[in-house]
C-alpha cells in the first residue's frame, strides 16, 4: 500500500528538520495562505468539514470542539497543546517532534488564528528533553521569520508561543489536570462544568488539543477537507494516523498509515509478523487503556467506529501485540500496576478501586486466587467503570474488560492449577 506521507513527509533516519528544510518542502505555506486568503471562521469550518478527530485518545471531532470556543470573547484566550505522552505503548508524538518540530509550530499558529487566541502553550512530557529543545529552537526560528509575534505577515494577528516542560505523572495528560499543572497547582482534574472552553487556563477560555491533531491542520488548509477525508479507507473516517507498533512483533516502530487500515496488515506487513515464528494472540489496538483484540479480529479496520463495534477503542493507535506464549493475566496486571501508581488519588473509584484491582490480579497471578476473587474482579470492574472523577480509571478498565471478555478461561486456569500456567 502506498500511503501519502503528511506528518512524516520530512522524516529522515537520525535527522531533525528545521526552518530552511521545512520551508523547502512547503512549510508555512498553509499559514501564509490562511492569513492572506481566509478568515478565522473559514479555517474553523474547513477543519470541521475535514472530519478530523482528536488523535490523543478520545477521538472527539476537532472542528466541533472548536465551535464551543468563544473566539469573539474579549480578553486573553489560550490554545494548549497536550504533549504529555505517558501512556504505555504510545510514543507517536515523540517521534513526530523529533523529526519535524516546525509542523507542530505551524499548526499551533494556524489553530490560534482560527480560534483567535493570543497565547499558546506546548505542554511537553518531562522525559522528552530532546524534543523540547527542538521545539524551542523551532519557535525561535519562527519568531525570527515573522511567523510568531505582533502583526504576523501583516494580518493584524498577534500570537505568542511557549514550550512548558511537565513535572511528570500520567494524570497530567488529562486536560484539566494539565491546566492546573500549567498554573503551578497540584495536577488534580477539575470539576466540569465549567469546561475549559469557557473557563480554562487562568480562568480564561482555553482549547486543548493533541500534538498529532494540531500537526494535521497545515495539511488540511493546503489540501482541503475532501482531500483529507479521501485519505482514509473506511466510510466516515478521514486522514492518516500515526501507528506506534510495539510488543512481540519483528518490527516495532511508528508508521503513518490511513485511518481504517486492517489490523492484519499492521501486524503482518508493517510489523513483519510475530517474533520467533510464534502466533498472534492478542493486542492493545490503541494504547494501554484500550480493550484487547484477538486473532478473530485480524480483519477489523482500525478506525474509531469499527473498533467500537467490537468493544474496543482506537485510542492513540499504539498497537502492542502479544504472542501465544503470553499470560494475559500477567500482561493486564502489568498495566494495572502502572495505572494504580499514576492515580492522583482524587477520587475513591480510582485511588482505592485500582489498588484493589491490582491486588486481585496479583493474587490470581501468584496462584492464590479463588473463584471468589474472579467474582470480585468482575464486581470491581462494574464499580469503577463510569464512576471515576476523570477518565484515568475508566481507561484503566479497558484491558481488564478485554481480559474478562476474551481470556476469562486463563483466569480460571490460574485458579484451578494454583499457579500461572505460562510459567516454566
184 lies in a domain? yes
- Pairwise CA distance, residues 59 & 239, whole Å: 13
12 lies in a domain? no
Backbone phi and psi for residue 312, each to the nearest 5 degrees, phi listed first: -135, -165
Q: Indicate if 121 and 102 belong to the same structural domain.
A: yes
101 lies in a domain? yes
Tell me the residue range of the domain where 361 lies.
328-417
- Pairwise CA distance, residues 379 & 372, whole Å: 10
**What CATH code is carried by the domain that includes residue 26?**
3.40.50.11540
The per-residue b/e assignment along 81-110, b for 16 or more CB within 10 angstroms, e otherwise, is bbbbbbbbbbbbbbbbbbbbbbbbbbbbbb
User: 163, 195, 229 — which closes off a domain?
Assistant: 229
| Residue 36 CB partners (closer than 8 Å, separation 6+) | 153, 155
313 lies in a domain? yes
6 lies in a domain? no
Q: Indicate if 225 and 235 belong to the same structural domain.
A: no
Which residue in 63, 53, 209 sits closest to 123, CA to CA?
A: 209
Q: Indicate if 65 and 210 belong to the same structural domain.
A: yes
User: 289, 323, 357 — which closes off a domain?
Assistant: 323
pLDDT digits (tens, 9 = 90+) for 116-175: 999 999 999 999 999 999 999 999 999 999 999 999 999 999 999 999 999 888 999 999
**What is the structure's pLDDT at 4?**
83
Cell 492464590 maps to which residue? Answer: 368
25 lies in a domain? yes
Which residue in 62, 93, 91, 84 sits closest to 288, CA to CA?
A: 91
Q: Indicate if 136 and 222 belong to the same structural domain.
A: yes
Count, residues in the chain: 424
- Residue 247 scores a pLDDT above 70: yes
Which residue in 183, 94, 166 sits closest to 130, CA to CA?
A: 94
Q: Indicate if 220 and 236 belong to the same structural domain.
A: no
User: In the sheet that 254-258 helps form, which strands lie side by side, from edge to edge?
Assistant: 254-258, 240-247, 318-323, 280-284, 293-294
C-alpha cell at 182: 500549567
User: 190, 211, 229 — which closes off a domain?
Assistant: 229
**What is the structure's pLDDT at 424?**
63
Q: Indicate if 122 and 263 belong to the same structural domain.
A: no
**What CATH code is carried by the domain that includes residue 342?**
1.20.1440.230
- Residue 208 and residue 80 in contact, taking contact as beta carbons nearer than 8 Å: yes
**What is the structure's pLDDT at 252?**
97
- Residue 263 and residue 285 in contact, taking contact as beta carbons nearer than 8 Å: yes
11 lies in a domain? no
The β-bridge partners of 256 are: 242
- Pairwise CA distance, residues 408 & 1, whole Å: 37
- How many Cβ atoms are within 10 Å of 43's Cβ, its own excluded? 24
| Residue 223 CB partners (closer than 8 Å, separation 6+) | none
- Pairwise CA distance, residues 424 & 243, whole Å: 34
Mean pLDDT across the chain:
96
pLDDT digits (tens, 9 = 90+) for 300-335: 999 999 999 999 999 999 999 999 999 999 999 999
User: Nearest-5° angle of CA 329, CA 333, CA 337?
Assistant: 180
Q: Indicate if 221 and 365 belong to the same structural domain.
A: no
- Dump the DSSP string for 229-244: HHTSSSTT--SEEEEE
222 lies in a domain? yes
pLDDT digits (tens, 9 = 90+) for 273-292: 999 999 999 999 999 999 99
Q: Indicate if 203 and 306 belong to the same structural domain.
A: no
**What is the structure's pLDDT at 168?**
85
Q: Indicate if 161 and 223 belong to the same structural domain.
A: yes
Give the mean pLDDT of 9-37.
95
- Pairwise CA distance, residues 199 & 310, whole Å: 36
Q: Indicate if 267 and 346 belong to the same structural domain.
A: no
pLDDT digits (tens, 9 = 90+) for 374-410: 999 999 999 999 999 999 999 999 999 999 999 999 9
**What is the structure's pLDDT at 321?**
98
Instruction: Give how many domains the chain has, as a whole number.
Output: 3
Q: Full-prediction pTM beyond 0.85?
A: yes
Amino acid at each position: 500500500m502506498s500511503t501519502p506521507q503528511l506528518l512524516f513527509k520530512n522524516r529522515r533516519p537520525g535527522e531533525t528538520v528545521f526552518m530552511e528544510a521545512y520551508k523547502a518542502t512547503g512549510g508555512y505555506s498553509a499559514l501564509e495562505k490562511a492569513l492572506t486568503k481566509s478568515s478565522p471562521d473559514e479555517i474553523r469550518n474547513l477543519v470541521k468539514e475535514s472530519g478530523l478527530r482528536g488523535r490523543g485518545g478520545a477521538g472527539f471531532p476537532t472542528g466541533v470542539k472548536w465551535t464551543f470556543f468563544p473566539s469573539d470573547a474579549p480578553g486573553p484566550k489560550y490554545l494548549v497543546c497536550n504533549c504529555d505522552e505517558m501512556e504505555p505503548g504510545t510514543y507517536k508524538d515523540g517521534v513526530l517532534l523529533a523529526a519535524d518540530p516546525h509542523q507542530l509550530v505551524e499548526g499551533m499558529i494556524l489553530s490560534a488564528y482560527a480560534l483567535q487566541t493570543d497565547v499558546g502553550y506546548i505542554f511537553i512530557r518531562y522525559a522528552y528533553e530532546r524534543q523540547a529543545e527542538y521545539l524551542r529552537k523551532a519557535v525561535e526560528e519562527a519568531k525570527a521569520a515573522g511567523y510568531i509575534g505582533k502583526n504576523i505577515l501583516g494580518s493584524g494577528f498577534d500570537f505568542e508561543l511557549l514550550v512548558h516542560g511537565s513535572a511528570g505523572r500520567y494524570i497530567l495528560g488529562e486536560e484539566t489536570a494539565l491546566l492546573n499543572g500549567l498554573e503551578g497547582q497540584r495536577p488534580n482534574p477539575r470539576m466540569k462544568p465549567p469546561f475549559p472552553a469557557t473557563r480554562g487556563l487562568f480562568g480564561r477560555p482555553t482549547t486543548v488539543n493533541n500534538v498529532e491533531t494540531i500537526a494535521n491542520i497545515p495539511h488540511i488548509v493546503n489540501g482541503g477537507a475532501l482531500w483529507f477525508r479521501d485519505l482514509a479507507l473506511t466510510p466516515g473516517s478521514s486522514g492518516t494516523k500515526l501507528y506506534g507498533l510495539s510488543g512481540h512483533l519483528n518490527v516495532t516502530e511508528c508508521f503513518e498509515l490511513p485511518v481504517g487500515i486492517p489490523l492484519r496488515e499492521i501486524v503482518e506487513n508493517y510489523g513483519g509478523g510475530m517474533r520467533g515464528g510464534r502466533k498472534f494472540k492478542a493486542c492493545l489496538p490503541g494504547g494501554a487503556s484500550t480493550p484487547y483484540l484477538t486473532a478473530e479480529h485480524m480483519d477489523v479496520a482500525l478506525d474509531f467506529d469499527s473498533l467500537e463495534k467490537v468493544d474496543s477503542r482506537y485510542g492513540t493507535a499504539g498497537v502492542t501485540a502479544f504472542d501465544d506464549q503470553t499470560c494475559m493475566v500477567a500482561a493486564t496486571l502489568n498495566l494495572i500496576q502502572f495505572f494504580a501508581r499514576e492515580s492522583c488519588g482524587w477520587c475513591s473509584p480510582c485511588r482505592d478501586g485500582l489498588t484493589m484491582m491490582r491486588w486481585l490480579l496479583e493474587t490470581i497471578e501468584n496462584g492464590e486466587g479463588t473463584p471468589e476473587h474472579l467474582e470480585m474482579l468482575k464486581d470491581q470492574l462494574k464499580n469503577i467503570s463510569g464512576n471515576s472523577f476523570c477518565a484515568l480509571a475508566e481507561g484503566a478498565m479497558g484491558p481488564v474488560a478485554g481480559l474478562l471478555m476474551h481470556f476469562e478461561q486463563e483466569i480460571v486456569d490460574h485458579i484451578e492449577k494454583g499457579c500461572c500456567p505460562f510459567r516454566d
